């Protein structure tokens, strides 16, 4: 296999984007940067380093899926024989040893369309929210249902399923992987460092908005892929709705007719947090109570995301991009 191409997407990522590009130069060709309306000099920085830049039409709503598709199309135009493409978010730095490992895996394993590795947070201890992201990235090694925004893919497989769904505002990676698996391809996560991610989450409001976005993504992917092999997308939203909507409704709604005894149902929250924390502690998690508490709390913003998606379906109103990160200076 020849060198893979790379698609980088971003908007106002500042220093994060600069680190991203520097980690790819001399390792892949071509590099295509797809910009979604940056005003921080990212476009100029990329062009100064000989990177191909695609500026998305701002009259059409921005989505990561749309940006990645545009980048893929330009990679294929510049390198028609490219067999692999790496997709990477502009706030990530690629590990210098990652690409040879990914290329070797796909050269040896013809049944796999996608390979990804370990994404880590650059500053996991800068905030509890960064730490939660670092834990989230540590998914199991082996065959996987989906990948994240950083992954190496076969151009043949990607093109055969028409790439990402440009209409999705979140969850475009698992939705693509569902179609790839339906077409007979496999996805693999291998035990190797892949990227350093800079979440830069410092406020509770950012974490909350990000969780709303996740709930929206789960709801939309579940609505699109509800077959027997994709029921995992339905199970999580159902659990979320039980904890965030059904349990509070029952405990509060039945209080007048139960002399307040139904409020005891609210004790299920600390009980479940304790159960999750015990399981995490036995698995070696260093901050089990923190993680367990946020896992429970996340049910509420995720439920809001679910409601937002389904309200949009009923009204026919398209959901807008849900953004939670602040721009970085150059």
Domains of the chain listed by start with CATH number = 5-202 (3.90.550.10), 228-315 (no CATH)
Residue 160: how many other CB atoms lie within 10 Å: 14
Confidence band, pLDDT 50/70/90 cuts, at residue 5: very high
**Rounded to whole angstroms, how far apart are CA atoms 99 and 96?**
7
pLDDT per position as a tens digit, 80-112: 999 999 999 999 999 999 999 999 999 999 999
Contacts 24+ apart (CB under 8 A), 44-51: 45/17, 45/18, 45/21, 45/330, 46/21, 49/21, 49/25, 51/8, 51/21
Confidence band, pLDDT 50/70/90 cuts, at residue 327: low
Q: What is the mean pLDDT of residues 267-292?
A: 97
Q: What is the mean pLDDT of residues 60-79?
A: 94
Find out whether the peptide bond into 329 is cis, omega within 30 degrees of 0.
Answer: no
Give the residue, 233 or 289, on which the prediction is more confident: 289
Would the pLDDT of 330 be above 70?
no
DSSP 98-136: HHHHHHHHHHH-TTEEEEEEEEEESSTTS-HHHHHHHHH
Percentage, residues of the chain above pLDDT 70: 97
Tokens of 116: 């990804």
pLDDT per position as a tens digit, 163-198: 999 989 899 999 999 999 999 999 999 999 999 999
**Rounded to whole angstroms, how far apart are CA atoms 321 and 246?**
28
Residue 25: how many other CB atoms lie within 10 Å: 13
């Amino acid at each position: 296999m020849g060198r893979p191409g790379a698609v980088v997407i971003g908007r106002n990522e500042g220093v994060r984007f600069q680190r991203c590009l520097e980690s790819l130069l001399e390792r892949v060709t071509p590099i295509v940067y797809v910009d979604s309306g940056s005003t921080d000099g990212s476009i100029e920085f990329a062009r100064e380093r000989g990177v191909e830049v695609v500026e998305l039409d701002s009259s059409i709503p921005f989505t990561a899926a749309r940006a990645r598709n545009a980048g893929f199309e330009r990679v294929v135009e510049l390198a028609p024989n490219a067999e692999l493409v790496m997709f990477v978010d502009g706030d990530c730095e690629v590990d210098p040893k990652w690409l040879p490992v990914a290329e070797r895996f796909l050269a040896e394993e013809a049944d796999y369309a996608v390979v990804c590795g370990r994404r880590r947070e650059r500053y996991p201890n800068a905030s509890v929210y960064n730490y939660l992201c670092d834990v989230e990235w540590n998914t199991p090694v082996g065959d996987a249902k989906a990948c994240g925004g950083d992954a190496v893919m076969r151009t043949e497989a990607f093109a055969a399923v028409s790439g990402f769904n440009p209409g999705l505002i979140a969850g475009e990676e698992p939705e693509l992987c569902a179609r790839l698996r339906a077409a007979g391809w496999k996805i693999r996560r291998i035990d190797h460092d892949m990227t350093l991610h800079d979440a830069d989450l410092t406020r509770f409001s950012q974490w909350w908005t990000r969780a709303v976005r996740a709930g929206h993504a789960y709801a939309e992917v579940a609505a699109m892929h509800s077959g027997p092999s994709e029921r995992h997308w339905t199970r999580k939203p159902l659990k979320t709705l039980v904890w965030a909507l059904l349990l509070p409704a029952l405990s509060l709604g039945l209080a007048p007719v139960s002399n307040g005894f139904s409020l005891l149902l609210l004790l299920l929250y600390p009980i479940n947090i304790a159960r999750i924390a015990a399981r995490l502690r036995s698995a070696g998690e260093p901050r089990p109570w923190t993680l367990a508490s946020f896992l429970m709390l996340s049910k509420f913003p995720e439920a809001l995301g679910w409601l937002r998606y389904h309200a949009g379906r009923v009204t026919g109103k398209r959901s807008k991009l849900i953004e939670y990160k602040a721009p970085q200076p150059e």
